[in-house]
Structure 1
Amino acid sequence: MSPDTCTVKSDKLGSLTGLTTRTKDSKPGIHYYGGIPYALPPTGPWRFRRPRPLPASYRYHGSYTGRNAACPQPQWRGTRSEQLWNEDCLQLSIYVPAGKPPPGGWPVYFFIHGGWLQFGGPNMTPEAVNPLMTETAFRAIMVQPAYRLNAFGFLASHELEADANELGQASGNMGFWDQRLALEWTHAHIKDFGGNPNKITVGGYSAGAHSTFQQLAYELYHVPAEKGIIKRAIMWSNSPGIQPKGLPEQQKQFDELLSVLGIPLSLPPKERLRRLREAPARDIIDAQAKMKISEFRATTDGSFIPPDSMAQINSGEFARRMKSRGIQLMNGECRDEHFLYREWRTSDDSYEGVYTRLCADYPEAVVQKLMRHYCGRSRDLPRGYSSWKDLFGHAYAGMQVHFLERGFQSKLANHLQPGKDLLRYRIEWRAECCGYPPEWGVTHATDQAIWFWYPALTADDKRILEPWNKAFAQFAMCEDVEWGTKEAIDIRRLRSDGKTDVVKDDANSWKEGLHVWKLLNEDTPKARI
């Protein structure tokens, strides 16, 4: 066998050949396996349906050294690479530290990529991951799954519900079901890669963090404790959000998609679905850019997401279940999240434009309350914002991160211990290699350099970030972490000067977060299924 390849063999899996990276001094770095199918193709008649597990007789054979396929997706900031597009995208990558595993096997970090649930992919190169696993305290297997996005992953309607009912299944939230199946595959097979199935941390960035919450919630309410997979959870720059739209509101989006695609709504339901399933993937992607309800997100379906998911947090039951299972959470934010958030399908520069754009993501009853929070009963631009686009960025960032993280933290802290069970943070420093315009400040995703130890970090960057990366590594490896916070309002902060301290959250931000949480997650009617 070549020194640059590695092979996993077992009776359950078959044989998978990957590649081995090298460190600067030519020692083995990590073993990489990419493009590993974890489910049957969700194509043809299986488009818009729940993922199907691989049959028990399935065996792998050959080389798995490439990248994962990417779910067809819209462009981000003017770029749209279709090279990896393939609806047969239910694949994952595995990065394994070189060397002998510890007793029981390597801890496992199951990382879910972000992208608003609309775009993105799990294709970090082995060379990019190599520094994290060879230069830092992070010594764990990392698994990154691909999952269905946008309409392919989150379309919902009465037609699809009836179609799924014929198979005895739930409809909607296909992307979350994909993630769950990938997580179950990891739990079942990671031991063959040297991993410990009893030490799995699930985490993600942005939409991946929101997905982490949904996976944790599903496990707490649908998986018996003795069969639980998740030991710890990491939610970087996202929150639980709000109770998702129910099927009546999602139907409006389904009808709009069909109209843009030229599929008559007068056709029988089965014929509408047939034409939709036969439509080219490119047409479905292009149609989304022409829609008012452009964002495909979670559905309150009564199966993956119950109609009382937010009520369970408010009652304390969610935290009590976390406590009983010993599950700990890391959750936090960047200082200037709004600069990046305002760049995704930005609203027209008016009150109506912001209102319509937010309705693409959230139930209209929630949007009405959010706009009243900012504008009162006026339709004029509030003081303190340079434009409606600026307001949209702040409102979006508040919904995704700032407001609802604080409300979530407050509810959990009634039963979980800050600094031990709850590790909350705020990042106010950024590395030059983060890749976003300097005028955006410490915006959304600029802190990924911290956690993933980007190869372009300077020596000074590494000196500043080493304590943070080490704490992340310890947490992901299910080890104890000295975090320093004591109360719900406390945060561990990386200051703009590169120093770390523990402080009280800004009083106004904390108060506003709790107010908006109550406004949107306690005083809003339950979603209709």
Structure 2
Amino acid sequence: MDYIQHPYVKSLAARGFVQGVTLTDRTTNTPLCHYFGGLRYALPPSQRWRQAQRLPDTYTYGSESNPGQCTGAAGVCPQPKFLNLSVQEGWTEDCFQCNVYVPVGEPPKDGWPVLIFLHGGWLQFGSPNSFSASQLLGETAFNAIVVMPAYRVGVFGFLYSSELEHDAASVNESAGNQGFWDQRLALEWTRDNIALFKGNPSQITISGYSAGAYSVFYQLAYDIHLPQEKSLIKQATIWSNSPVAQPKDPSSAQDQFSQLLSALNIPESTLSPSEKLARLRSIPAKTLLDTATKLVATNQFRPTTDSTFIRPSLFHSLDTGAFGRSLRARNIRILLGECRDEHSLYATWYPPPQNTFSALHDRLRAEYPPALVTSLLNLYCPNGELPVGCGNWHADAFGLIYADIQVHKMQRGLVHSLVLGGAAHLVYRYRIEYRLRCADDAFPPEWGVTHATDMLIWFWGNGKVVQDYEKPLIMKALIGPLTRFVHGEPDIGWGTTDYREVRRLKPDGSVDIWQDGYWDEAMRIWKCVRADDESANDVAAKF
């Protein structure tokens, strides 16, 4: 979309002054929103893989005569290239910034409600700069502040080892899951500072897409164990992702660390822990990224059960209903769902290099525990045969299984666990089978309503043009109810009355309430996955 940008200076009280821009539609000359890009939410850590630091109370962005410049974009963590979805410029390990969109006009008495959005990208790539809330704010009645933070990804955000654990302990920090801690700082910054933008800190919705949705689950899991006065999350949206199994344990993470050292020719047996880290920290970011990227196909840089941010008992709490009971006790609402053809895009993320059963097996082991992979393949590929409807192993079978485990089946498992805890009334489910015309600019039409095409719906074109005939369809189907959800209205007009009912946006643009036809099969897969995560439950019993 073509914007006119007018300078917009705002006072943030004791935080000083910032200069953003007012984004205006060039065609209609209508102001859409105020935008502040690259607004710092934390200070960088003293060294790579340590935790970023909260902004001190004395931190200011600028003065009235020299306001902090927030007219551009957030910093981008170094990341691998993937289709046209990753960001290949603006790289910096100091990516502790966010983009903030503020409605024009006068806020309500208590301030604008707030939506925090966590970008996706398999936790390996992505940036808030790939998303825009300007049209959503300027062309609809959404009327909420949107905060989009950047955070560390891949090897920079999710490396873990005993060496890093010892190093973190020396400065009273926790090791691993650095990307999650970055997100947490962004949440805390929003709570503590959003009133300066006329936002309501008591009406914050945390949302995320894909890996961002995965992140929302872990932020929620961390948050519900905090005392009520330190809790941040009141409600959440989980778009096109879901938790699968207890994240890898420290010993598995240590193996990955050893692989990285070996690939970088850093001796492991002859160097002290501090010497290994010194070597790693001295390596240029691009060299580290290139080396780590070569390992991703066989060992993804993903979260670790660190016993601090991620408890060993987390998935046990899903099995027992304790997670759902915690949500029920705090009345935390969750809006979650899927696209019809998630598999089309999922099949392109490091697909198996050969069209064989064994290559599929090895690829799935890059992300999931070995026992879980074996059981899944026994279910999907009995006697080593291709799943029904699949013509090959490296695209069809991989895309089917991967999308089921990342979204379709496991999300239903999450809903099951919430129901088990008595939180069914807090769940709002959706399914999108409609594709906007502008999706053709980024995704082949033959991919259908694939993963990420719905971001054009949730963000009202996300910078692209939504056709006039499409606008009332998506407003009625999703944007209107989402607006009411974010504003905290008790009745959002969702239309479902049972956890197995799903609000569905159909291919013709109409809306119905769909009786979930995949529920029983999903429960079969969910129970299989949970049975193979019993080792985590055994560990959890000790805590």
TM-score normalised per structure 2: 0.92
Contact 2:208 2:239 in 1 (8 A): yes
Matches within 5 A, 1:442-457: 442-454=449-461, 455-457=464-466
* Percent identity (aligned): 45
> Partner of 1:492 in structure 2?
503
Distance (Å, rounded) in 2 between the aligned partners of 1:522 and 1:217? 21
The alpha-carbon deviation at position 79 of structure 1 amounts to 7.5
Ranges in structure 1 where 5+ consecutive residues have no aligned partner: none
Distance (Å, rounded) in 2 between the aligned partners of 1:257 and 1:354? 23
> Partner of 1:525 in structure 2?
534
> Partner of 1:512 in structure 2?
521
Matches within 5 A, 1:211-222: 211-221=215-225
Give the residue type in structure 1 aligned to 2:431: R
The answer as to 2:258 corresponding to 1:251 is no
The aligned length equals: 519
> Partner of 1:18 in structure 2?
20
CA shift digits 1:214-258 (9 cap, x unpaired)? 11111001x212332211100000112211110111112111111
> Partner of 2:65 in structure 1?
none
Contact 2:117 2:146 in 1 (8 A): yes
Distance (Å, rounded) in 1 between the aligned partners of 2:372 and 2:331? 33
Counterpart selection for 1:345 from 346, 350, 354: 350
Give the stretch that moved more between structures: 63-72 or 467-476.
Answer: 467-476
Give the residue type in structure 1 aligned to 2:17: S
Contact 1:70 1:87 in 2 (8 A): yes
Q: 1:27 to 1:249 in 2, by over 3 A?
A: same
> Partner of 2:292 in structure 1?
288
Contact 2:32 2:139 in 1 (8 A): no
Distance (Å, rounded) in 2 between the aligned partners of 1:55 and 1:504? 51
CA shift digits 1:456-487 (9 cap, x unpaired)? 11112112211111111111222230111112
3-state SS of 2:72 partner: coil
Counterpart selection for 1:478 from 488, 508, 511: 488
The answer as to 2:338 corresponding to 1:333 is yes
Q: 1:382 to 1:180 in 2, by over 3 A?
A: same
Matches within 5 A, 1:63-74: 63-74=69-80
3-state SS of 1:182 partner: helix
The alpha-carbon deviation at position 288 of structure 1 amounts to 2.4
3-state SS of 1:459 partner: coil
The answer as to 2:266 corresponding to 1:263 is yes
Contact 1:106 1:139 in 2 (8 A): yes
3-state SS of 2:534 partner: coil
Give the stretch that moved more between structures: 33-42 or 194-203.
Answer: 33-42
Distance (Å, rounded) in 1 between the aligned partners of 2:233 and 2:77? 25
Contact 1:95 1:141 in 2 (8 A): yes
CA shift digits 1:3-37 (9 cap, x unpaired)? 92222223431111111112444243211111111
Give the stretch that moved more between structures: 359-368 or 426-435.
Answer: 359-368
Give the residue type in structure 2 aligned to 1:501: D
> Partner of 1:189 in structure 2?
193
Contact 1:416 1:422 in 2 (8 A): no
Contact 2:372 2:532 in 1 (8 A): no
Give the stretch that moved more between structures: 226-235 or 367-376.
Answer: 367-376
Q: 1:417 to 1:217 in 2, by over 3 A?
A: closer
The alpha-carbon deviation at position 134 of structure 1 amounts to 1.7
> Partner of 2:61 in structure 1?
60
The alpha-carbon deviation at position 384 of structure 1 amounts to 2.6
3-state SS of 1:290 partner: helix
> Partner of 1:321 in structure 2?
326
3-state SS of 2:312 partner: coil
Distance (Å, rounded) in 2 between the aligned partners of 1:365 and 1:501? 39
The alpha-carbon deviation at position 374 of structure 1 amounts to 1.6
Give the stretch that moved more between structures: 116-125 or 438-447.
Answer: 116-125
3-state SS of 1:7 partner: strand
Give the residue type in structure 1 aligned to 2:250: L
3-state SS of 1:183 partner: helix
The alpha-carbon deviation at position 54 of structure 1 amounts to 2.0
> Partner of 2:475 in structure 1?
466
The answer as to 2:106 corresponding to 1:103 is no
Distance (Å, rounded) in 1 between the aligned partners of 2:498 and 2:84? 43
Contact 1:337 1:444 in 2 (8 A): yes
Give the stretch that moved more between structures: 364-373 or 433-442.
Answer: 364-373
Give the stretch that moved more between structures: 274-283 or 143-152.
Answer: 274-283
Distance (Å, rounded) in 1 between the aligned partners of 2:84 and 2:483? 34
Counterpart selection for 2:126 from 106, 120, 123: 120
3-state SS of 2:208 partner: strand
The alpha-carbon deviation at position 417 of structure 1 amounts to 5.6
Matches within 5 A, 1:3-152: 4-23=6-25, 24-42=27-45, 46-61=47-62, 62-77=68-83, 81-124=87-130, 128-152=132-156
Contact 1:243 1:526 in 2 (8 A): no
Q: 1:166 to 1:189 in 2, by over 3 A?
A: same
Ranges in structure 2 where 5+ consecutive residues have no aligned partner: 63-67
Counterpart selection for 1:238 from 238, 241, 244: 241
Distance (Å, rounded) in 2 between the aligned partners of 1:79 and 1:123? 11
3-state SS of 2:54 partner: coil
Distance (Å, rounded) in 1 between the aligned partners of 2:148 and 2:422? 29
TM-score normalised per structure 1: 0.94
Contact 1:406 1:513 in 2 (8 A): yes
